[in-house]
């Protein structure tokens, strides 16, 4: 496998044959100028190319075919694909065919250190998806992002002055907010996929429980569950939240409580044994969680149902 490592924004420009960036920590590359939208660039090689960079990037390309792996899974690629990556994430390309029209924004975290964006960008989960979920834009969404891109590009190529960085960051933050909005729209529009992932999520819990792993290995973590699904922790959590209105942790807890209700109604049921069988290290914690979710303690739950 061929590996491309971009240690800096300047390194990215140099290895791709672009002119040096106007700023060593921030750059804009526009392949749309003087390019017919139907032009295609193709990598016919069957060799996989691994790409790792030391900066954030936002890339808009029309990907026609080929494979892109991002994390453990193949990227869900379609025309009008927006790809957002964070430092030190790995992408693998194989035989990719894409439109020659492309937009790139690269920025090192040091560029916005000391600004409000430094903390805000951590809240945009789409930079943390080592995932199979690109953002697929509608024509209107694509044109809106391109217009913001062009605003950033114009300021980037303008004579730098005391307002330049502030204006660039303002446009960039606007772009990030729109991307967040469009991702949330996509989660809602892809309800069938959300339902499928949640079904697989609950199936994994069923299999884990039936195999006796709750008692042997403890309650599965959301990281482990995401790994079984082949997606990132954050992507799984966002999808489940969009589908059910509850977090992945909440869903695991609700699953355990439903199991507990059935076990507690068995003859001579023991609260402590039930807790241990469900993977709780401390029965007291199980009792507190049960009361929080059900409204009564396990003991009260047993007493109430024994009278019916």
Residue whose entry in the numeric block shows the structure tokens 């930079």:
127
Is residue 11 predicted with pLDDT exceeding 80?
yes
**d(C-alpha 70, C-alpha 51), whole Å:** 10
Rounded to whole angstroms, how far apart are CA atoms 41 and 64? Answer: 10
Q: How confident is the model at residue 236 (pLDDT cuts 50, 70, 90)?
A: confident
Nearest-angstrom CA–CA distance, 184 and 115: 26
| Distance in angstroms (rounded) separating the CA atoms of residues 77 and 158 | 34
Q: In sequence order, which residues have a C-beta less than 8 Å from that of residue 154 and are 6 or more positions away? A: none
Domains of the chain, first to last: 2-189 (2.60.120), 192-306 (1.10.10.60)
pTM over 0.85: no
Other beta carbons within 10 angstroms of residue 75's beta carbon come to 23
Across the chain, mean pLDDT equals: 83
pLDDT at residue 124, rounded to an integer? 85
| pLDDT tier, 72 (very low <50, low <70, confident <90, very high otherwise) | very low
Sign, CA torsion 77/80/83/84 = negative
CB-count exposure of residue 135 (10 Å: 0-12, 13-18, 19+): buried
CA distance 193 to 132: 12
pLDDT at 263 over 50: yes
In this prediction, what percent of the chain has a pLDDT beyond 90?
A: 45
| pLDDT greater than 60 at residue 292 | yes
pLDDT at residue number 100? 67
Confidence tier at 40 by pLDDT (50, 70, 90): very low
Distances (CA, A) of 68 to 63, 78, 171: 10, 11, 29
Tokens at residue 87, please?
A: 């430092």
Q: Summarize the confidence of residues 271-278 as an average pLDDT.
A: 95
DSSP run (H or E) holding 260: helix 248-264
Q: How far apart are CA 34 and CA 23, in angstroms?
A: 24
pLDDT in tens, 125-141: 788 654 445 677 888 88
Tokens of 84: 């957002």
Distance from C-alpha of 270 to C-alpha of 42, rounded to nearest angstrom: 65
Q: What is the pLDDT of residue 187?
A: 66
Tokens of 304: 């109430």
Q: Does residue 76 surpass a pLDDT of 90?
A: no
Token digits of residue 280 = 């709780």
User: CA-CA distance, 85 to 131, in Å (whole number)?
Assistant: 10
- Residue 176: is its pLDDT beyond 90? yes
Q: Average of pLDDT values for 265-294?
A: 93
Tell me: pLDDT of 163 over 70.
yes
How confident is residue 188, by pLDDT bands cut at 50, 70 and 90?
low
């Amino acid at each position: 496998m061929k590996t491309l490592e971009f240690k800096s924004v300047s390194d990215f420009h140099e290895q791709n044959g672009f002119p040096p960036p106007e700023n060593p920590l921030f750059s804009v590359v526009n392949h749309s100028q003087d390019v017919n939208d139907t032009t295609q660039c193709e990598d016919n090689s069957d060799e996989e190319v691994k790409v790792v960079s030391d900066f954030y990037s936002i890339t808009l390309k029309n990907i026609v075919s080929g494979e892109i792996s991002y994390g453990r899974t193949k990227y869900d690629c379609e025309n009008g694909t927006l790809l957002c990556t964070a430092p030190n994430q790995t992408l693998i390309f194989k035989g990719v065919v894409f439109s020659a029209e492309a937009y790139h924004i690269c920025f090192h975290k040091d560029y916005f250190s000391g600004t409000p964006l430094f903390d805000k960008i951590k809240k945009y989960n789409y930079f943390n998806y080592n995932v199979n979920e690109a953002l697929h834009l509608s024509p209107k969404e694509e044109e809106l992002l391109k217009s913001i891109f062009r605003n950033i590009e114009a300021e980037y190529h303008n004579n730098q002055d005391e307002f330049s960085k502030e204006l660039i960051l303002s446009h960039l933050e606007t772009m990030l907010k729109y991307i967040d909005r469009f991702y949330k729209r996509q989660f809602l529009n892809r309800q069938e996929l959300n339902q499928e992932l949640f079904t697989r999520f609950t199936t994994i819990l069923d299999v884990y429980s039936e195999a006796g792993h709750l008692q042997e290995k403890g309650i599965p973590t959301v990281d482990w569950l995401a790994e079984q699904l082949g997606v990132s922790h954050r992507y799984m959590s966002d999808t489940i939240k969009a589908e059910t209105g509850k977090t992945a942790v909440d869903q695991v807890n609700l699953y355990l409580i439903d199991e507990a209700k059935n076990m507690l109604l068995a003859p001579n049921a023991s609260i402590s044994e039930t807790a241990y069988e469900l993977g709780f290290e401390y029965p007291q914690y199980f009792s507190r969680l049960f009361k929080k979710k059900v409204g009564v303690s396990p003991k009260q739950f047993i007493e109430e149902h024994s009278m019916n």
